[in-house]
Amino acid sequence: MNKSAFDGATPLYAAVTGAGELSVVQLLVQYGAIVDARSAGGKTALHEAVIRGRTAVVRY
């Protein structure tokens, strides 16, 4: 669940940077995704949600 890829991206980070579906983000968080995990570039999923305009994810 929280295992990161070579670039530090976790499944939660990938969900936000991909389609940004709120339901997927909610499911990952519900099952224990670490919300403050950082990518190799130092960004969290929340940082990416803000950058990409994923308003529903940011509000969640």
42: left (phi over 0), alpha (psi -120 to 50) or beta: left
Q: What is the pLDDT of residue 26?
A: 97
Q: What is the pLDDT of residue 47?
A: 96
Number of domains in the chain: 1
In a domain, 4, yes or no: no
In a domain, 41, yes or no: yes
By residue range, what is the domain housing residue 35?
A: 11-59
Q: What is the pLDDT of residue 9?
A: 82
Q: What is the pLDDT of residue 3?
A: 66
CATH label of the domain that carries residue 25: 1.25.40.20
The confidence band for 53, taking pLDDT boundaries of 50, 70 and 90, is: very high
7-34 pLDDT, tens digit each: 668 999 999 999 999 999 999 999 999 9
Helix or strand (DSSP H, E) at 29: helix 22-30
Report pTM: 0.85
